[in-house]
């Protein structure tokens, strides 16, 4: 073998604390190394060209690059050596940036450690073998999980691109949080007027299959060939027959249930269609409140339904959908304001969330679009908005900014003035965060044109006095305490991960952060990809986002899916486990430990043997450390290679 | 059935809040909670020591905690939130070895650690329990509207006190409700009464305590139940000052919650000690109980 070693300066990132020229020189003493040099930026175009030229000039058959983490640039360099005619697996990386230069300041020690890491890489490379990926076919259907605005956008873009789309929505209608909003910032246009047509497009698109009131039960398979079990929860209404006429809702005798769509500030019937523009516009029975289920007798809806759609004996149903890619767009939920006991949310009816206030503003809400406070139905005159309730608050374990609250609060002050001209809005804020096109202008308009009084400071407590709510806080600009007699207090409740998000992440085999938000593949450069091939993210499931950002991500995720599906065949990663059938004794231990169910039992000349399913194996290597015979080996990471690395390190 | 806990009455318990002490002892005895006096107990290290020197303050507290340890007990109950704060703070600070070394230097017997201090309210809630309280009631406080006022330091800082909700505590409400009283939702449960400003700045106390009394009247309370000797003094003894300063006319009885418990448990009048209070609760109490009958 003829090995070339390239030691990268990474500008001053590595060269600052590592003598790269010395590392290159030392490499020449390693076995089979015939060429070594340092290079300014190995990943740049001249850097890559230098590698390619050296391969040709020096007849290199393997390359080591000592630079950064392989997570970012291993694919870059593999493509480069491939362009020079080598197999892409005849390449190794030594990480002398994250593992050396960034963590130590002692130049000599760093240089020595870098030499050791290159020595290890060379020993591994000497035992590398060319690997050829195999190809497998792609099922060009995509599943979108979550029918909020991000999921809707992803579904429509994929469907318009000619893909078959399966959209799964937990609630009985798509629309998500956006469907609950009255108006949207910074244009103050009606939320349902801009979202409604998209929802109708979903319903009417020939390429989209919608499973509403459904949840993902389990996910098997791999990129290009996922099998997803979808649990269609019992609605107790045959949706084939239901016309959405609403006769059942008019007659249902159980009318006083908290309405989830109206954020529980209005009542709804036990059989319910959540809102007039619902897609699909179909009724669902809540068996926890329905008299037929609770008391065993009623049956009014069954009697009045003109199409005989009511089916009290309906049960959950599991359907299997085969898809090639999955977009998770499961959104967010609101911080529980009752956890902030000093504000009295949950105890005092006139302390509500911003989303509840949206329902009070909305013409399809419980008050028909008239702002009436929940306690006595009176029109409030003094309204206090409190920002950052469950955002930017370490004491509540919510240190992050929810991003959109500053903007929706400004919008709500504007709408309040429109609804009640003699009203006065007060906003307690920490900082105003309005970085977006026309956003800062919007918050200024709320103050300057609509007279909202912004008070910089936190509120210490909210308590009732007579029929008023006393809001006591600090004005940190004036350096005084303030007390405001409010008729209504609106808390800008922060965003948190959707309920069940960690469980879904585990089904999708993707990572999530400590707050339950899904982890993107790279925070800057791969915002909608995950580390699991074929699984993409859109919208607030990755972190709080406003509507434009969510829509942008929906389209971005769709573009990723369309790019993936632009090929008829995908290449599998050849860095997978392989069984040496001569050594395998058929004990089956590897089958039991494989987390991906990628190993199956086969019979070979009457004997049991293990066999790896190439496309399912993720190359984790658990089986190789389980096998008592050493019969199963992970290609590119064989026992021999790892032992050679250890030897190189110990003998250095 | 009797459970034992060391009892630390604090200096107020021997003087200004004698009725809190006697009613606490009587109530715990009636409910089977055995309070064992700490022999030769001394100052908890509260004012003025803790404003001057944390080590001295902690040493004063730790001396008492070590006495509890010598008794073979692991916990002490005190009716006074100020004592409680200082005992718990001393424990917390002594978790740092360098600090504890300084404390131990001041003590004849070094503090062995591991003695937990709780409020009488917490002991009643956790060691006796609401069911026992409920079944022990002889004269239900039916018809009596009580605002429960916990004071600012009973539950705060929450990391240190580690009991009940720090902004909306419910332990006292739950106990008095179990005794048949109608507890009203009192929004200023943990607001400041003015505390020790009664001496240097009585105007501040008049304003802050006035707010509390006003809120109690606003929610229709017949009386304000308290758990702190200093709060009690500000709200009761200084009620005349509050009225003069604010032009109000409050006549709000401010008994200790243990006194109301004692009434419900038919404990003798001299142990209840209503006669020690400035605004006599007895007329309001007998009126409310009579209406309920």
pLDDT at A383 over 90: yes
Cβ contacts of B188 on chain A, cutoff 8 Å? 463
Q: Tens of pLDDT along A595-641?
A: 888 899 999 999 999 999 888 888 999 999 999 999 999 999 999 99
Cβ contacts of B215 on chain A, cutoff 8 Å? 463, 465
- How many Cβ atoms are within 10 Å of B15's Cβ, its own excluded? 10
By residue count, chain A amounts to 652
Residue A611's beta-bridge partner residues? A600
Cβ contacts of B187 on chain A, cutoff 8 Å? 344, 463-465
**CB-based contact A463 B166, cutoff 8 Å:** no
Report CA-CA distances (Å) from A628 to A556, A575, A584, A625, A645. 46, 21, 9, 8, 22
Confidence of residue B1 (pLDDT cuts 50, 70, 90): very low
Phi, psi for A589 (deg, rounded to 5): -65, -40
**CB-based contact A347 B165, cutoff 8 Å:** no
Cβ–Cβ contact A342 with B under 8 A: yes
What residues contact residue A344 under an 8 Å CB cut-off, 6+ apart? Answer: A351, A462, A463, A464, B168, B187
- Residue of chain B whose Cα is closest to the Cα of A470: B187
Mean pLDDT, rounded, for A108-127? 97
**CB-based contact A347 B188, cutoff 8 Å:** no
State residue B46's pLDDT score: 85
All domains in chain A, ordered by first residue? 3-126 (3.40.50), 141-230+321-331+500-564 (3.50.50.60), 247-304 (no CATH), 335-496 (3.50.50.60), 577-635 (3.30.70.20)
Phi, psi for A120 (deg, rounded to 5): -60, -45
- Residue of chain A whose Cα is closest to the Cα of B214: A465
State residue A222's pLDDT score: 87
Number of inter-chain CB pairs under 8 A, A vs B: 21
Confidence of residue B289 (pLDDT cuts 50, 70, 90): confident
Tally the C-alpha atoms within 13 A of residue B19's C-alpha that lie toward its C-beta. 26
- Residue of chain A whose Cα is closest to the Cα of B166: A341
**CB-based contact A347 B185, cutoff 8 Å:** yes
CA distance B218 to chain A (A): 7
β strands within A119-196, DSSP E:
135-137, 141-145, 164-168, 183-184, 189-190
**CB-based contact A464 B187, cutoff 8 Å:** yes
Alpha helix segments (H runs only) across A205-308: 247-251, 291-294, 300-304
Residue A210's beta-bridge partner residues? A167
Alpha helix segments (H runs only) across chain B: 18-30, 49-52, 54-70, 81-93, 97-106, 120-123, 130-136, 158-161, 171-178, 202-218, 229-232, 239-246, 257-264, 269-272, 282-292
pLDDT at A82 over 70: yes
Cβ contacts of A340 on chain B, cutoff 8 Å? 167
CA distance A463 to chain B (A): 6
- Residue of chain B whose Cα is closest to the Cα of A340: B167
**CB-based contact B167 A463, cutoff 8 Å:** no
Report CA-CA distances (Å) from A63 to A91, A129, A212, A408, B103. 5, 13, 53, 55, 65
Q: Tens of pLDDT along B230-280?
A: 999 999 999 999 999 999 999 999 999 999 999 999 999 999 999 999 999
**CB-based contact B168 A463, cutoff 8 Å:** no
Give dist(CA B28, CA B18) in Å, integer. 15
- Residue of chain A whose Cα is closest to the Cα of B187: A463
Cβ contacts of B165 on chain A, cutoff 8 Å? 341
**CB-based contact B215 A461, cutoff 8 Å:** no
State residue B51's pLDDT score: 86
**CB-based contact A461 B218, cutoff 8 Å:** no
Q: Tens of pLDDT along A302-345?
A: 999 999 999 999 999 999 999 999 999 999 999 999 999 999 99
CA distance A464 to chain B (A): 7
DSSP state string for A50-102? HHHHHHHHHT-SEEEEEES-HHHHHHHHHHHHHHTTS-TTSEEEEE-IIIIIT
Cβ contacts of A341 on chain B, cutoff 8 Å? 165-168
Confidence of residue B49 (pLDDT cuts 50, 70, 90): confident
Cβ–Cβ contact A341 with B under 8 A: yes
**CB-based contact B166 A465, cutoff 8 Å:** no
Give dist(CA B93, CA B80) in Å, integer. 20
Mean pLDDT, rounded, for A409-423? 98
State residue A155's pLDDT score: 98
Evaluate whether A462 touches A351 at the Cβ level (below 8 Å).
yes
Cβ–Cβ contact A566 with B under 8 A: no
What residues contact residue A88 under an 8 Å CB cut-off, 6+ apart? Answer: A78, A79, A81, A82
**CB-based contact B218 A465, cutoff 8 Å:** yes
State residue B2's pLDDT score: 54
Q: Tens of pLDDT along A195-204?
A: 999 999 999 9
Give dist(CA A305, CA A285) in Å, integer. 13
Cβ–Cβ contact A464 with B under 8 A: yes
Q: Tens of pLDDT along B123-156?
A: 999 999 999 999 999 999 999 999 999 999 999 9
Give dist(CA A297, CA B255) in Å, integer. 53
pLDDT at A493 over 70: yes
pLDDT at A270 over 50: yes
Give dist(CA A502, CA A511) in Å, integer. 8
**CB-based contact B218 A466, cutoff 8 Å:** yes
CA distance A344 to chain B (A): 9
**CB-based contact A347 B168, cutoff 8 Å:** yes
Phi, psi for A536 (deg, rounded to 5): -125, 165
All domains in chain B, ordered by first residue? 3-120 (1.20.1050.140), 138-287 (3.40.50.11810)
**CB-based contact A465 B165, cutoff 8 Å:** no
List the one residue out of A386, A384, A147, A346 whose CA is nearest residue A258.
A346
Strands A135-137 and A569-571: antiparallel
CA distance B62 to chain A (A): 30
State residue A595's pLDDT score: 84
What mean pLDDT, rounded, does chain A reach? 96
Confidence of residue A652 (pLDDT cuts 50, 70, 90): low
- Residue of chain A whose Cα is closest to the Cα of B190: A342
Evaluate whether A551 touches A538 at the Cβ level (below 8 Å).
no
**CB-based contact B167 A347, cutoff 8 Å:** no
- Rounded percentage of chain B residues whose pLDDT exceeds 70: 98
Give dist(CA A57, CA A547) in Å, integer. 55
């Amino acid at each position: 073998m003829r090995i070339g070693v390239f030691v990268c300066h990474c500008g001053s990132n590595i060269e600052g604390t590592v003598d790269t020229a010395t590392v290159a020189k030392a490499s020449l003493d390693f076995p089979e190394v015939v060429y070594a040099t340092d290079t300014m930026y190995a990943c740049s175009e001249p850097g890559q060209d230098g590698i390619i030229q050296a391969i040709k000039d020096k007849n290199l058959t393997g390359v080591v690059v000592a630079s950064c983490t392989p997570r970012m640039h291993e694919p870059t360099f593999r493509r480069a050596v491939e362009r020079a005619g080598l197999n892409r697996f005849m390449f190794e990386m030594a990480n002398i940036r994250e593992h050396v230069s960034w963590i130590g300041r002692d130049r000599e020690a760093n240089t020595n450690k870098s030499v050791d890491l290159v020595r290890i890489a060379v020993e591994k490379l000497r035992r590398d073998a060319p690997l050829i990926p195999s190809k497998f076919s792609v099922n060009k259907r995509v599943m979108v999980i979550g029918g909020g605005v991000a999921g809707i956008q992803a579904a429509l873009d994929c469907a318009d691109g000619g893909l078959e789309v399966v959209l799964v929505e937990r609630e009985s209608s798509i629309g998500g949080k956006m469907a609950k909003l009255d108006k949207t910032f910074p244009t103050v246009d009606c939320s349902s007027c801009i979202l409604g047509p998209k929802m109708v497009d979903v319903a009417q698109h020939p390429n989209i299959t919608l499973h509403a009131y459904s949840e993902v039960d389990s996910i098997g398979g791999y990129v290009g060939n996922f099998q997803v079990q979808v649990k269609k929860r019992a609605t107790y209404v045959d949706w084939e027959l239901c016309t959405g006429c609403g006769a059942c809702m008019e007659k249902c005798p159980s009318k006083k249930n908290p309405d989830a769509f109206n954020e529980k500030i209005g009542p709804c019937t036990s059989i319910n269609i959540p809102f007039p523009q619902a897609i699909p516009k179909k009724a669902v029975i809540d068996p926890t409140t329905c008299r037929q289920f609770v008391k065993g007798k009623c049956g009014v809806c069954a009697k009045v339904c003109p199409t005989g759609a009511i089916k009290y004996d309906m049960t959950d149903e599991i359907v299997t959908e085969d898809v090639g890619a999955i977009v998770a767009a499961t959104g967010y939920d609101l911080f529980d304001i009752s956890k902030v006991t000093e504000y009295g949310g949950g105890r005092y009816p006139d302390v509500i969330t911003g989303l509840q206030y949206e329902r009070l503003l909305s013409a399809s809400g419980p008050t028909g679009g008239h702002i009436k406070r929940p306690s006595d139905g009176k029109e409030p005159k003094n309204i206090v908005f409190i920002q950052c309730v469950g955002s930017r608050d370490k004491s509540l374990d919510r240190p992050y900014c929810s991003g959109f609250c500053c903007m929706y609060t400004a919008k709500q002050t504007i709408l309040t003035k429109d609804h009640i001209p003699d009203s006065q809005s007060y906003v307690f804020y920490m900082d105003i965060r309005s970085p977006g096109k026309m956003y800062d202008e919007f918050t200024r308009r709320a103050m300057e044109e609509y007279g909202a009084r912004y008070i910089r400071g936190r509120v210490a407590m909210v308590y009732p006095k007579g029929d008023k709510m006393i809001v006591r806080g600090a004005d940190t600009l004036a350096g005084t305490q303030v007390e405001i007699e409010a008729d209504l207090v609106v808390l800008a409740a922060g965003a948190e991960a959707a309920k069940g998000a960690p469980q879904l992440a585990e089904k999708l085999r993707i990572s999530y952060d400590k707050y339950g938000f899904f982890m993107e593949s790279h925070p800057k450069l791969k915002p909608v990809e995950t580390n699991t091939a074929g699984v993409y993210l859109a919208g607030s499931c990755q972190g709080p986002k406003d509507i434009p950002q969510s829509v942008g991500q929906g389209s971005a995720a769709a573009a990723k899916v369309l790019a993936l599906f632009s090929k008829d065949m995908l290449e599998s990663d050849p860095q997978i486990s392989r069984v040496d059938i001569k050594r395998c004794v058929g004990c089956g231990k590897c089958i039991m430990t494989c987390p991906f169910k990628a190993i199956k039992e086969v019979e070979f000349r009457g004997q049991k043997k293990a066999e790896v399913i190439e496309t399912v194996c993720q190359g984790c290597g658990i089986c190789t450390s389980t096998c008592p015979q050493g019969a199963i080996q992970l290609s590119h990471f064989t026992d021999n290679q790892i032992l050679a690395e250890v030897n190189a390190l110990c003998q250095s | 059935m009797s459970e034992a806990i060391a009892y630390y009455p604090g200096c107020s318990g021997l003087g200004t809040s004698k009725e809190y002490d006697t009613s606490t002892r009587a109530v715990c005895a009636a409910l089977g909670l055995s309070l064992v006096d700490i022999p030769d107990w001394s100052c908890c290290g509260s004012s003025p020591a803790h404003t001057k020197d944390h080590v001295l303050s902690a040493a004063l507290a730790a001396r008492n905690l070590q006495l509890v340890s010598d008794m073979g007990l692991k916990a002490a109950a005190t009716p006074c939130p100020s004592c409680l704060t200082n005992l718990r703070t001393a424990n917390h600070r002594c978790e740092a070895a360098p600090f504890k070394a300084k404390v131990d230097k001041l003590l004849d017997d070094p503090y062995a650690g591991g003695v937990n201090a709780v409020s009488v309210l917490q002991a009643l809630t956790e060691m006796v329990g609401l069911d026992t309280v409920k079944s022990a009631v002889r004269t239900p406080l039916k018809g009596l509207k009580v605002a429960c006022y916990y004071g600012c330091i009973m539950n705060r800082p929450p990391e240190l006190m580690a009991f009940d909700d720090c902004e909306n505590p419910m332990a006292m409400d739950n106990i008095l409700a179990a005794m048949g009283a109608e507890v009203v939702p009192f929004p200023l449960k943990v607001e400041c009464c003015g505390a020790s400003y009664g001496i240097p700045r009585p105007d501040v106390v008049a304003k802050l305590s006035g707010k509390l009394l006003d809120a109690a009247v606003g929610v229709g309370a017949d009386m304000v139940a308290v758990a702190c000797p200093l709060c009690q003094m500000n709200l009761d003894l200084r009620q005349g000052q509050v009225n003069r300063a604010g032009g109000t006319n409050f006549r709000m009885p401010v008994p200790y919650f243990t006194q109301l418990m004692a009434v419900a448990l038919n404990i003798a009048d001299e142990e209840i000690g209503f006669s020690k209070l400035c605004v006599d609760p007895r007329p309001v109490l007998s009126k409310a109980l009579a209406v309920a009958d």
